[in-house]
């Protein structure tokens, strides 16, 4: 009896590891940027080509940076949620129009609604690289000091919004 105990134990441990592995999402790579200052940039705005936007303008506020594009299918999925969120006026939401054509971006917002305070244009994806963007949409929570506090990879779901983003924003606003 005893001689089966060890292999059985090893088997159980292995099954445990595999079971945990099944529930992990390999797409969710922990970002090294959480807890670091948001990288600086200065790019034109979507609706006003002559005006620029840089994160320093948001200093002193807790704000969200949402990376989106008109070609991004999952962005449509999260867009109604962002629209609802913007209506509550909880915190400013800035868009980063990632690797998109200006006309397409403007048309897309006209069609699906514009929850953004403004959208910055990252036409060649350089800002995206500095923010470690690899799967649009991505959403960053940035605090008053300009430090990234949270990163959501993929669409914002109502659950993430209610359980993570809103409590975090409230906490940071204290």
How far apart are alpha carbons 85 and 4 in whole angstroms?
A: 57
Taking the C-alpha atoms of residue 45 and residue 96, their distance in angstroms, rounded to an integer, is 9
Contact between residue 118 and residue 53 where contact means Cβ atoms under 8 Å apart: yes
Residue 89 sits in the site that holds another protein (CB under 8 A): no
Interface residue with another protein among 32, 89, 103, 110 (CB under 8 A) is 32
The single residue among 112, 135, 154, 157 that binds another protein, judged by CB under 8 A, is: 135
By CB under 8 A, residue 129 contacts another protein:
yes
By the rule CB under 8 A, 21 interacts with another protein: no
Tokens of 27: 């797409």
Q: Is 154 in the site for another protein (CB under 8 A)?
A: no
Residue 170 DSSP one-character state: H
Give residues in contact with another protein (CB under 8 A).
Answer: 26-27, 29-33, 99, 124-126, 128-132, 134-135
């Amino acid at each position: 009896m005893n001689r089966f105990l060890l292999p059985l134990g090893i088997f159980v441990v292995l099954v445990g590891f595999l079971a945990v592995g099944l529930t992990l999402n390999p797409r969710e790579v922990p970002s090294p940027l959480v807890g670091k200052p948001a990288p600086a940039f200065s790019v034109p705005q979507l609706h006003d080509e002559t005006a620029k936007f840089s994160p320093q303008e948001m200093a002193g506020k807790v704000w969200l940076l949402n990376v989106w594009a008109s070609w991004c299918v999952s962005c449509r999925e999260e867009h109604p949620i962002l629209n609802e969120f913007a209506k509550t006026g909880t915190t400013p939401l800035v868009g980063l129009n990632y690797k998109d054509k200006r006309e397409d971006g403007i048309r897309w917002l006209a069609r699906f609604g514009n929850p953004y305070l403004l959208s910055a244009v990252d036409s060649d994806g350089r800002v995206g690289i500095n923010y470690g963007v690899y799967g649009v949409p991505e959403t960053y929570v940035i605090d008053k000091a300009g430090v990234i506090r949270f990163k959501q990879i993929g669409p914002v779901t109502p659950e993430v919004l209610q359980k993570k983003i809103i409590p975090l924003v409230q906490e940071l606003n204290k």
